[in-house]
Structure 1
Amino acid sequence: MSTGILVDAERLAAIVLTLPGVAGLHGGRFGEISTYLPGRRVRGVRIRDDVVTIGVVARDTAALPRLGDEVRTALGPLGRPVDVWVGDLADPDDPTVPGDPTGTAAPAASAVSLRSTILEENKS
């Protein structure tokens, strides 16, 4: 069953990483929250026909109660439910993100501009 909406795992990941409560993406305990693309894997985003799952590393515990709603709002309508799974909490004294030893996980793009691009591409 196809929803008719094209979903790009790399763009979803970029949008989620712009959120202030998200320190990084989390692939799950065994890497099960991933999307496999030719020659690469997008950890923290799993796209299925019936659901999109986003795995995150939360920046702090204060963000937890609202984090799922913030992720869903930033992603916008995807034509299927979005489950948000918090796999870890970031250490405030460590600039690196679990699973990202370089500390370069968050891109500079804004969630609004990335979401607008996704919506424009789905109009055609």
Structure 2
Amino acid sequence: MTTIDERVRRVARTVLDVNGVADLHGGTFGTLATYLPGEKVVGVKIDDTGIDIHVSLHTGSQIHSVADNIRAAVSRIEDGPISITIEDLV
């Protein structure tokens, strides 16, 4: 059985591998994160209601296309609703 730690890290790696994603983002106040033993994974939160992902994209990226690609990549490894928020362009 996969632990929440492994799931969060795997989602974070998957999102960062999507073309156009610059980084994960903690939200306006930096609060969107998962706290794991000895580390904090910003930009990814998994709970009973689904998966929240907050990202920064590279300037010039096609926002809707990148969001669709994030959703497709994450849905291959996780079940449930996926909410994606584009926080910044860098």
Q: TM-score, normalised by structure 2?
A: 0.84
What's the CA shift string for 1:20-47, capped at 9, x where partnerless? 1101110101122201111111001011
Matched residue, 1:82: 82
Bigger Cα Rg = 1
1-side partners of 2:70 and 2:2: how far apart?
18
Aligned residues of 2:16 and 2:24 also touching (Cα < 8 A): yes
The reply to whether residue 24 of structure 1 matches residue 20 of structure 2 is no
Aligned partner of 1:79: which letter?
Answer: D
Residue identity (%):
36
How many Å separate the matches in 1 of 2:81 and 2:30? 21
**Greater fraction strand:** 2
Equivalent residue number for residue 36 of structure 1: 35
Instruction: For structure 1, list consecutive stretches of 5 or more residues without a partner in the other structure.
Output: 91-124
Deviation (angstroms), 1:78: 2.0
Runs of 4+ residues deviating >6 angstroms? none
Q: CA RMSD in A?
A: 1.9
1:87-117, Cα deviation, whole Å (9 max, x unpaired): 1101xxxxxxxxxxxxxxxxxxxxxxxxxxx
**Partners of 2:14 and 2:85 in 1: CA distance:** 16
- Equivalent pairs counted in the alignment come to 87
